[in-house]
Structures are given as C-alpha cells and as structure tokens.
Amino acid sequence: METKQVTVFGGSGLIGGLLIKLLIDDDSFSKIIVVSRSPFKSKSSKVENFQIDFSNPEEIEHSIKNSSIVFSAIGTTQANVKGDKIAYRKIDFEITYNIAKACKSESVKSFLYVSSSGANSKSSGFYMKLKGEIDAAVSNLNLISTVIFRPSLLIGKRSEFRFGELIAQFIMPLFAFMFPKNLKPIAAEFVAKAMVYVSKNPPKGNKIIENSILIDWKKKGFGK
C-alpha cells in the first residue's frame, strides 16, 4: 500500500487537531508535517513540526515540499484580532491563498481546506463575503484538486474558550430539526473524517462540499 506524506495547517484548532489524530491512526499516511507558529508537540513518530512565519510565502512553500496532500483549517475570530478586519483578512485570506499558491508551485495532488456554510463573495456580511472571496480566489488557481469544505456550526471541544459558540453548541442541536441542512450544526470530528476520506481519492479540479452534503453523508452512516 502506498503511503503518503501530508502537511496540515491549523493543527492547534478544533478540526485541525482532530485531523492530526485521524492521520496518525491511519496507515495510509507515513509522515505528517504540522505547520505552526509556536511549538506543536506530539508523541507520534509520524509527526514533524515546522515552525514558520505565516507571512512568508517561501516558508509556506517549504513546509509542503514532498507532500502529496495538504490540509488547512486555518482561521481566526473577531475577538482574536480585536475587531480589526484588516488583520482578520490577513489571516483568513492571505494565508489560505498563499498555501494554495504553494500547492500550485509544488504540484500537490490535493488541497483540502475548511471554509464556511453560507460563504458568498457577494454577501453583505463581512465574514461570509470574505469566506466567499477566499473560495473564489483559490478555485481560480486551478489546482490539480481543490476540495472546499463548508460546514455550519461545529460541535466539539475547542482548546480556546469561545463563550458565544459554547452557548450555541448547547442550544442549536435542540432545534436542529427545524433548520435547513446547510444550517444544521455538525460534529467537527465528522468533518475531519470526511476530509481524510476524500483525500484518499480526491476529485479532479474544484469541488465544494456543502454542509448539506456532510449531513447526508452522516445520515448514511459514513465514517462509522
């Protein structure tokens, strides 16, 4: 069985951390490069940590060299950037776009990353508009394979405290049956499982996995 080297961005976040655990336990993957600003510790011999300056495209490109698959769950919150929309865009847009450009340069077989349900470059809301602009810019690079995951509210335990999201995680599942599939909350672990699964046989060109698709997959028992 052919094993693959992969690179993961955003490993300290909710989906990124779950991704790394799944990749460690999966014999399809021989080496996992975890890219971070600060030290990332793992007991697995499969994991190697690259600490980089995310504003340096050359360091981003170096971190994906020899990887056939690149995952990204990079993201921030308004609280983390103290409401600075320029700083927010620099993290969400520029880093993701530079990772995608590096994938293009290195002929990476598949780039899979997390966007958001409702992403739309024509939205009047800052967050959804930004996510839509990222998706459009990355898609226009025409990589060998780009898979964009657009989950709704993620259910799972984060390493960082987000009061509003914590409350929503308790309340929204109670009323999930009332929501359309694109707005239903979904377990972060399931999203991570779907990303790993799709990475093993990635589609050619651009593919968007909407929250409604993830919900359908979960109902059919995918990932059990």
User: Rounded to an integer, what distance in angstroms lies between the CA atom of residue 153 and that of residue 123?
Assistant: 18
Cβ distance 128 to 118 under 8 Å?
yes
Q: Could you tell me which residues are beta bridge partners of residue 51?
A: 36
d(CA 199, CA 168): 30
- Among candidate residues 71, 87, 88, 56, the one with its CA nearest the CA of residue 22: 71
* Structure tokens given for 175: 């009323």
Token pair 């007991």 in the structure block, residue:
43
The CATH number given to 4-219 is 3.40.50.720
Question: What mean pLDDT is reported for the chain?
Answer: 88
3-state secondary structure of 111: strand
Amino acid identity of 90?
K
pLDDT at 52 over 80: yes
- Among the residue ranges 44-58, 80-94, 181-195, 197-211, the one predicted with the least confidence is 80-94
Q: How many CB atoms lie within 10 A of CB 68?
A: 19
Three-state DSSP state, 49: strand
For the cut 80, the answer to whether the pLDDT of residue 93 exceeds it is yes
Kindly provide the residue ranges of all beta strands, DSSP E only, lying in 42-168, ordered along the sequence: 47-51, 69-72, 110-114, 145-150, 154-155
Q: Which residue has the tokens 């599942």?
A: 173
Q: Can you give the pLDDT at residue 36? A: 95
- Residues whose CB is less than 8 angstroms from the CB of residue 71 and which lie 6 or more positions away in sequence, other chains included: 6, 7, 8, 9, 10, 16, 19, 112, 113, 195, 199
The pair of three-digit structure tokens given for residue 129, joined into one six-digit string: 């508009």
- The answer to whether residue 189 scores a pLDDT higher than 60 is yes
In tens, the pLDDT along 58-69 reads: 999 999 999 999
pLDDT band of 197, cuts 50, 70, 90:
very high
Q: What pLDDT does residue 163 have?
A: 47
The H or E element spanning position 7 is: strand 4-9
What predicted TM-score, i.e. pTM, was given to this entire model? 0.88
Chain segment 143-182, per-residue pLDDT in tens: 999 999 999 988 866 555 454 454 555 555 555 555 656 7
